[in-house]
Structure 1
Amino acid sequence: MARRVRGANPEALGGLLMIAPPAVYALLLLAAPLLLLLVYSFWTDGYLEIIRDFTFANYHETWTNPLYRGVMMRSLMVSLLVTVSTVLLAFPVAYFVSFHVAPNRKSTWLFLITIPFWTSYLIRVFLWKVILGYNGVLNAGLLKTGIISEPLTFLLYNTNSVVITLAHAYAPFAILPIFVALERIDRSLLEAGQDLGESKLMTFFRVTLPLAMPGLVGAVLIVFIPTIGDYVTPQLVGGPEGRMVANLIQLQYLRLDNYPLGSAIAISAMGIVALLSAVFLFMTRKYLRGPK
């Protein structure tokens, strides 16, 4: 071991020493709460107290109660819909900026894409509430143009409003990694494909899209993982039909004072997200390998 340390690269050791303090700090901030959450999930809820008796009852309740299962499935469906819609809308924007905007203007476009970050996430959610409301901007515009005769009631306080709001909120997170992946594509490869007789469309599907897959995979994970645990958007624009698993956890913790069951629901949700993310990475692993 001593020989390995003496023969190690000094720059590598210096890098490890530099990242060690923040790494330990992050580990304490992340691992300690998760460990506490895991411990709580195996304890028993008592009246205004937690009984430290080991039990699987909380997980049994989480997976057998139809209400909890329904909310979990709804959260997964909403997150999948948000991820698909966000990535499908983000890819054309990233493609346009990468391939059709002059190099000296790309920074301006990226600056415009990040403008939503200038305002609070809470304010953006409230703005969508104003837009989609019964007397909101969208209904007022449709009424004024004569497209509808009475305000639409399905725009707000349901799953649709949650998907629309989350897709808008996470669009920049999807655009940026896709843009970076597109920027790394060697343009000569596209020219070579067309020189060999491929159409622009087939060149896109056979060259551009596979090379952009690392950015797409990153965008999918960046959007899917946080949206399934989003609390503010379902609370403000979801209504009873749009509540998600984070709202259920909040109910157990702050309203019902059932920390063990809330912890079991949280651990179960994290396990599902981790499993689905691992499966997705396994299915797309061939696109993530670097050039040989």
Structure 2
Amino acid sequence: MAKGPRSEAVQGATLIAPPFLYALLVLAAPLLTIFAYSFLTDGYLEVIREFSLDNYRQVLGDPIVRSVMMRSLWVSMTVTLVTVVLAFPVAYYVSFVVRPERKALWLFLITIPFWTSYLIRVFLWKVILGYNGVINSTLTSLGIIDEPLTFILYNVNSIVLTLAHAYAPFAILPIFVALEKIDRSLLEAGRDLGESRFMTFWRVTLPLAMPGVIAATLIVFIPTIGDYVTPTVIGGGKIPMIANMIQVQMLDLDNRPLGSALAVTAMIIVAIVSGIFLFLNRRFLKVRQ
């Protein structure tokens, strides 16, 4: 007896119910809690006295918050640009140049950074860029500099460098997957029609690889804007980003409503920027998701 649409729908709902409930519990519940906290004035959900928009007014009206938020956006966008631009040639080389039997080895090598903790990698960059680190020690021993360089650590550039290295595999892999899906006969057709290698890449390869580029962009942009460890360690606490400000409000000052308002505002800004990027991609690059 053939199963009706209703029974199939019930089976589908039963199948997805456990992961859906798990995601609801793990993701939605904390987000809703933060959202509720952002409207409180006393900081305790157990004793709700008044809901207010004062926290959001303070967030939007504070010039320090605006400065930190703009710095976070600028750093995240710079990291995303640097990471994706450097990741594309690597993914292109692995996809189009490396022999098929060696691609698995290359992907294995690309994922080696995941073998160690993110925190350890950040501390290693501090060792490399430090006053007596690898770079300064090497330049001093070679006689290139007389005194260690002090401007290569505890600044925005060092934060961008560290984050770009940490998130490079996240950008390489989705771009590689998109490049692997490209039908090679389309590239041959472009060459047969008299297009140069560059124009074939520009008109065929790049547009077809854009879904991977978009995925890499969002994968890098969204977490880096809320990164807490790198500004603390590599920036020496001198260059706070929005995550550091949220931590100060939540833990140091025990002002959970204001910290929650900061978190919600940051999430909204990230969603808006991501939405604008996707809209521009659809509008100007004509890429169908």
TM range (shorter): over 0.9
Which residue is equivalent to 1:42? 39
Partner residue of 2:63?
A: 66
- Mapped pair 1:141 → 2:131: no
The DSSP-based 3-state class of the residue aligned with 1:238 is coil
Distance in 1, Cα, partners of 2:13 & 2:100? 36
Asked if the contact 2:43–2:256 (Cα under 8 Å) also holds between the matched residues in 1, the reply is no
Matching of residue 98 in structure 1 with residue 95 in structure 2: yes
Query: What is the alpha-carbon distance in structure 2 between the residues aligned to residue 9 and residue 155 of structure 1?
Result: 63
Partner in structure 2 of residue 6 of structure 1: 4
Do structure 1's residue 81 and structure 2's residue 78 form an aligned pair? yes
Question: Residues 236-260 of structure 1: CA distance to partner in whole angstroms, max 9, x if unpaired?
Answer: 1112442211110000011111011
Alpha-carbon deviation of 1:125? Answer: 0.5
Residue 30 (str. 1) matches residue 27 (str. 2) = yes
Partner residue of 1:191?
188
1:162 aligns with 2:155: no
| Maintained 8 Å contact 1:86/1:168 | yes
Counterpart for residue 262 of structure 1: 259
1:4-28 per-residue CA deviation (whole Å, 9 max, x = no partner) reads x933583x65444222211111012
The separation in 2 between residues aligned to 1:288 and 1:86, in whole angstroms, is 21
Q: Structure 1's 50 and 237: CA in aligned 2 closer, same or farther, altered over 3 A?
A: farther
Q: How does 1:98-137 map to 2 (within 5 A)?
A: 98-137=95-134
CA pair 262-180 structure 1, distance change in 2 beyond 3 A: same
Offset at 1:32? 1.0
Structure 1 residue ranges (4+ consecutive) displaced by more than 6 angstroms after TM superposition: none
Instruction: Please give the secondary structure, in 1, of the residue aligned with 2:234.
Output: helix
> Structure 1: how far apart are the matches of 2:212 and 2:7?
32
Match of 1:204 among 186, 201, 204: 201
Flag structure 1 segments of 5+ consecutive residues without an equivalent: none
Distance 2:212 2:63 in 1: 37
CA contact (8 A) 2:91 2:172 kept: yes
Counterpart code for 1:146 = G
Residues 62 and 116 of structure 1: CA distance in aligned 2, closer, same or farther (over 3 Å):
same
Q: Specify the alignment match of 1:283 in structure 2.
A: 280
Aligned Cα root-mean-square deviation (Å): 1.9
Greater mean deviation of Cα atoms: 12-21 or 183-192:
12-21
Identity %: 68
Counterpart AA for 1:187: R
Deviation at 1:85, TM superposition (A): 0.4
SS in 1 for 2:147: coil
Which segment drifts farther, 226-235 or 172-181? 226-235
Residue type of the partner of 2:5?
G
Q: Deviations over 1:252-289 (max 9, x none)?
A: 01111101100000000000000111111111125441
Amino acid at match of 1:6: G
Report if the CA contact (8 A) 1:178-1:219 is conserved: yes
- The separation in 1 between residues aligned to 2:287 and 2:31, in whole angstroms, is 29
Does structure 2 retain, via aligned residues, the 8 Å contact 1:162–1:242? Answer: no
CA distance in 2, matches of 1:167, 1:116: 12
1:9-57 alpha-carbon deviations (Å, 9 max, x no partner)? 83x654442222111110121111111111111111479x976311111
Partner Cα separation in structure 2 for residue 263 and residue 103 of structure 1 = 49
The equivalent of 1:177 in structure 2 is 174
